Amino acid sequence: MLAKREDMILDELVSIVGKDNATAAKHIRYAYSYDLSFVTPKLPDYVVMATTVEQVQNILKLANRDKIPVVPYTAGSNIGGLCIPEQGGILLDLKRMNKIIRIDAESHYAIIEPGVSHAQLAMELYKHNLRWSWPVGPPSASVSSNALCHGIGGLSGRYGLNSEEITSMEVVLPTGELVRVGSCAIREDSWHSVLPMPQLDGLFKGWLGTSGVVTKMGVRVHPIPPILKVFTVSTHNLEDMTSYMVNLGNYEICDDLTGVSWWLSQVPIPYPYRPKPDGAPEWYCFGATYSWTKKEKEAREEIWQNVLDEEKKKGTSIQYADYPEEALKARTQLPSRIVGSTKNYTKMAGGGISWPGTFTPANKWAPVYNKWKEILIDHKLSPATRVTNYRGVHYGMLRAMIPFNKQSAEETENARHAIVECLKVDLDAGGIPYKPPVDFAAEINKRAHPGYLSLLKQVKQLLDPNDIMNTGKLGF
């Protein structure tokens, strides 16, 4: 009887998307069962590729009726297990919904479908001398998925997270209903803003695909000033680097202001742990600025020089540092095939990588990193860590990229244990993990205010009464 039911469901899925776009073949399901992270692989029961909004609606109506879990999927390039099916069900692959519907070069926004990649959007935007906040990730990654999961990018220092650049959304709810939020909810062809209305887009941002399927998204795009200047320094510890980055961040002149540990500056990241050479700085920083005129560039250079002088007067270890040309390309010529390439992170390991990726205030970076360093080295893992300022100094990112050998269950478990231990340290310091695997969600929920968890569950129940959307990812 069970096999007959599964055949009936597959037949219904085929009737919605066509026989070439729905399958229960094990070799195809296997390709969607894992990612680079330490998360245990799990097979979906079906893989379905939708090409229209109506197909997405009909798939979710079927799934809701029969209480079948649905996992939305685009490029699958995250390293947090976010698309691994916790309870089987339908793997809904949206990569064929890849139209750039509109680029409004005058009002500076674009409307895209979920399968639009960073490379695809970049090619079209550059025709208008416009840019998006490209992350340091593969060009094949989905623009909308990155934004929905509060991803960062090369303009985060100036404009904030990519989720803050969303202007409107069209969403299919788990029940199959179609809704719009933002200005497009009032006028169908108006996608310029989520304000001044209630920000209902927040019902779908940061929910890890557990509250609906976004089928269209409006995003802000920005002009590209012609003059690039990158400021580069080094220090021997994160305390000194934080002082510099907070000082420079106060002026809000950088599109991107990021520091990386010596281990993260290596290509590939050393695995297992390798000590830093004696005398080499432990931290390097690049601050990318763009100017419209030579005088504007000179003004930014004057500010930077003043900051550098102030930091030297404090007696810190700060020094001007030459940054390798190839590395600068990787940070400024985005989307990047250099840093975004998986082999640059995992070549010395065995195809595995994951992270404790967190939003952590700058004044907590050094205390947390120093503990992370002890934990990671104790586990024979490199403390390949990054810190980034967002929108001045209000908040920042602290994350470690941890390669490991996925061919070894023992080495994978070693990395998972170390990463979770690092996460606990950051949570205790007030940091919050982003794109969190279920292991992380469980640690978050242990510390959460009961009112917060209650509200989260109420909203989930309202939007998804049969709990079909990416079931289990919130760690309830």
Instruction: Please say whether the beta carbons of 284 and 328 come within 8 A.
Output: no
pLDDT at 136: 77
pLDDT at 323: 74
Domain end: 47, 71, 93, which one? 93
| pLDDT over 90 (residue 54) | yes
Same domain, 129 and 175: yes
What confidence category does residue 154 fall into, taking pLDDT thresholds of 50, 70 and 90? confident
Tally of structural domains, the chain: 3
What confidence category does residue 318 fall into, taking pLDDT thresholds of 50, 70 and 90? very high
Q: What is 143-202 written as a DSSP string?
A: HHHHHHTT---TTHHHH--GGGGEEEEEEE-TTS-EEEEEGGGTSTT--S-S-SS--GGG
**CA geometry: angle at 366 spanning 363 and 371, to 5°?**
130
Same domain, 71 and 166: no
Residue 79: CATH number of its domain: 3.30.43.10
If you average pLDDT over every residue of the chain, what do you get? 93
Instruction: Please say whether the beta carbons of 191 and 77 come within 8 A.
Output: no
Residue 474 resides in a domain? no
Which range (72-81, 141-150, 252-261, 325-334) has the least confidence?
Answer: 325-334
For 181-196, what is each residue's pLDDT tens digit?
Answer: 999 999 999 999 999 9
Residue 441 resides in a domain? no
pLDDT at 343: 59
pLDDT at 335: 81
Structure tokens at 299: 């003004």
pLDDT at 290: 95
Same domain, 299 and 427: yes
| pLDDT over 80 (residue 326) | no
CA distance 138 to 146: 11
pLDDT at 340: 54
Length of the chain: 476
What confidence category does residue 2 fall into, taking pLDDT thresholds of 50, 70 and 90? low
- b vs e for 181-218, b when ≥16 Cβ sit within 10 Å of the residue's Cβ? bbbbbeeeeebbbbeeeeeebebbbbbbbbbbbbbbbb
Other C-beta atoms lying within 10 Å of the C-beta of residue 250: 13
Residue 421: CATH number of its domain: 3.40.462.10
- What are the backbone angles phi and psi of residue 451, rounded to the nearest 5°? -65, -35
Which range (65-79, 228-242, 333-347, 428-442) has the least confidence?
Answer: 333-347
* Residue of 34, 14, 12 whose CA lies nearest to 23: 14
Same domain, 202 and 113: yes
CA distance 286 to 258: 6
| pLDDT over 70 (residue 229) | yes
Residue 153 resides in a domain? yes
Our measurement of the distance from residue 238's CA atom to the centroid of its chain's CA atoms, rounded to an integer in Å, reads 24
Domain end: 70, 93, 116, which one? 93
pTM: 0.95
What confidence category does residue 342 fall into, taking pLDDT thresholds of 50, 70 and 90? low
Residue 198: CATH number of its domain: 3.30.465.10
Structure tokens at 104: 């409004």
* Residue of 80, 76, 176, 62 whose CA lies nearest to 117: 76
Residue 455 resides in a domain? no
Cα-based distances in Å from 62 to 10, 316, 421: 11, 62, 41
CA distance 397 to 353: 18
Same domain, 111 and 257: no
What confidence category does residue 449 fall into, taking pLDDT thresholds of 50, 70 and 90? very high
Residue 13 resides in a domain? yes
pLDDT at 404: 95
Same domain, 160 and 61: no
CA distance 128 to 106: 10
What confidence category does residue 337 fall into, taking pLDDT thresholds of 50, 70 and 90? low
Same domain, 74 and 109: no
Same domain, 178 and 198: yes
| pLDDT over 90 (residue 79) | no
CA distance 363 to 346: 30
Domain residues for 189? 100-223
For 285-314, what is each residue's pLDDT tens digit?
Answer: 999 999 999 999 999 999 999 999 999 999
Same domain, 140 and 210: yes
Residue 465 resides in a domain? no
Residues in a beta bridge with 288: 230, 256
pLDDT at 267: 80
Angle at which helices 438-447 and 409-428 pack, to 10 degrees?
Answer: 30
* Residue of 475, 474, 468 whose CA lies nearest to 213: 468
Same domain, 363 and 273: yes
- Kindly report each contact of residues 181-186 with a partner whose C-beta sits within 8 Å and lies 24 or more positions away, as own/partner: 182/218, 184/216, 184/218
| pLDDT over 60 (residue 51) | yes
Percent of the chain with pLDDT over 70: 96
Same domain, 69 and 163: no
| pLDDT over 60 (residue 339) | no
Domain end: 48, 74, 93, which one? 93
Residue 284 resides in a domain? yes
Residue 445 resides in a domain? no
CA distance 420 to 410: 15
pLDDT at 73: 98
Same domain, 49 and 170: no
